[in-house]
Chain A
């Protein structure tokens, strides 16, 4: 099965990027879960937690405030104003 290519970007930096098997994000009216093969969608996000399950089994939990998410042909782009790790050290860079 194909994987999701995820880019999680904040206003001033790239927070996380890589291949994932699943991602869940806090959409405006309820959490949205994305699996490979999802239909193209552009969703507004509220403040909450983005969970990314990487292909290697690792899971990344990032606290975000408002932003949006776009899915297109297994390319997932999560754009947020600010992002911060819920569990320190799970994403690459601060």
Chain B
């Protein structure tokens, strides 16, 4: 009987220490998410300026560029999966991986080969556990991606895109990441990054029409300099959004975990009290019946 009580007390203690970990993780995620959102906002002017410049060149010069042309010759497709380095974020990484698997299936059904590029240790371990080849991986900064990391990823992917088919060149690039909608909603999204689709002559309402620019030194050179930067900035913004989503998902998951731990502690406390009470009752009835037996003899 006393053993039962001890087991419950032990479980209460271990759940309490788990709860402390969950609470700490929740607070850490909560304190970092503000910074992550600031970074998303800080990168916005750069992306805006680039988008404006790219559409200015594209509407003017209608130049053909390797990055904007379809490549029917290459049958490989690059897919970049953006996941987290650490777990404890609920279904965050799992839903990106699921979306990625769906895309891989779809691309394979079209008869194309897939070249996988992944960021985040979760995706790396997912694929190494299944013995599947990964063409490139980046880990270590999933919750605070720097512009340098984005640069590195963009360089690798652009190189793959511009390579000849026989050297493993890819014809398309898809990115699977988690879009940060708000603190409660983060949705996994698939976007086709390359080849770029230039939407011509679309000015957002209320925006001034683009002026007639002079290009220095020439439209082709300007476009050459702009497009890789544009890709890098798109990838950077995907990474930043994913980082904010990761932290939000972690905060929510850890909040739920803390609450569940509290529920468990409450339940075990109740069970422990019950065991204690029934033990006392049993001892009393043993004493009483013992006394009765003595009195009767």
Q: Which of B42, B211, B215, B225 contacts A72 (CB 8 A)?
A: B211
CB distance from A34 to the nearest CB of B (A): 11
1/0 contact string of B180-219 vs chain A (CB within 8 Å): 0000000000000000000000000000101111111100
Interface size on B (CB < 8 Å)? Answer: 32
**Given A7-B45, A68-B226, residue A41 in contact with residue B53 (CB < 8 A):** no
Contacts of B157 in A (CB 8 A): none
Residues of B within 8 A of A73 (CB): 208, 211
Are the CB atoms of A9 and B216 closer together than 8 Å? no
A12 touches B213 (CB 8 A): no
Q: What chain A residues lie within 8 Å of B213 (beta carbons)?
A: 40-42, 70, 72
Highest count of chain A CB atoms <10 Å: which of B46, B151, B236: B46
Instruction: Indicate whether A44 sits within 8 Å of B53 (C-beta atoms), given known contacts A11-B43, A12-B39, A12-B46.
Output: no
Contact A11 B233 (CB under 8 A): yes
Contact B49 A12 (CB under 8 A): no
The distance from the CB of A52 to the nearest CB of chain B, in whole angstroms, is 16
Query: 30 interchain pairs (CB within 8 A)?
Result: A7-B45, A9-B46, A11-B150, A11-B232, A11-B236, A12-B39, A12-B43, A13-B42, A13-B43, A14-B42, A14-B45, A28-B216, A29-B216, A32-B216, A40-B212, A41-B214, A42-B53, A42-B213, A42-B222, A43-B216, A43-B222, A44-B221, A44-B222, A70-B53, A70-B56, A72-B213, A73-B211, A77-B49, A79-B50, A79-B229
**CB of B182, distance to nearest CB on chain A (Å):** 22
List of B residues within 8 angstroms of A27 by Cβ: 216-217
| CB of B71, distance to nearest CB on chain A (Å) | 26
Q: Is the CB of B147 within 8 A of A82?
A: yes
Q: Taking each of B43, B52, B151, B225, which has the highest tally of chain A beta carbons within 10 Å of its own beta carbon?
A: B225
B225 lies within 8 A of A44 (CB) = yes
A40 CA to B213 CA, complexed, in Å: 5
Residues of A within 8 A of B211 (CB): 40, 72-73
Q: Which residues of A contact B (CB under 8 A)?
A: 7, 9-14, 27-29, 32, 39-44, 66-68, 70, 72-73, 77, 79, 81-82
Query: Do A11 and B147 contact each other (CB < 8 Å), given the known contacts A43-B216, A44-B222, A72-B213?
Result: yes
Q: Smallest Cβ distance from B85 to chain A, in angstroms? A: 20
Cα-based distance from A70 to B51 in the complex (angstroms): 12
Whether A68 contacts B222 by the Cβ 8 Å rule is yes
CA distance A81 to B225 in the complex (A): 12
Q: Which residue of A lies closest to B225 (CB)?
A: A44
Which residues 222-257 of B have a CB within 8 angstroms of A?
Answer: 222, 225-226, 229, 232-233, 236
**In the complex, A13→B240 CA distance in Å?**
13
Tell me if B57 is interfacial: C-beta within 8 Å of chain A.
Answer: yes
The interface residues of chain B lying within 8 Å CB-to-CB of A42 are 53, 56-57, 213-216, 222
Q: Tell me whether B146 is interfacial, beta carbon within 8 Å.
A: yes
Q: Which residues of A contact B229 (CB under 8 A)?
A: 67-68, 79, 81
**Shortest beta-carbon distance from A77 to chain B in Å:** 5
Q: In the assembled complex, which residues on chain A have CB atoms less than 8 Å from the CB atom of B49? A: 7, 9, 70, 77, 79
Say yes or no: A39 contacts B214, CB within 8 Å: yes
Interface centre among B39, B151, B229 (most CB of A within 10 A): B229
A12, B46: Cα distance in complex, Å: 7
Which residues on the A side are within 8 Å of B208 (C-beta)? 73
Could you say which of A10, A14, A41, A82 contacts B216, with CB atoms under 8 Å apart?
Answer: A41
Give the CA-CA distance A28 to B219 in the complex, in Å: 13
Task: Give Cα A44–Cα B215 distance, bound, in whole angstroms.
Answer: 8
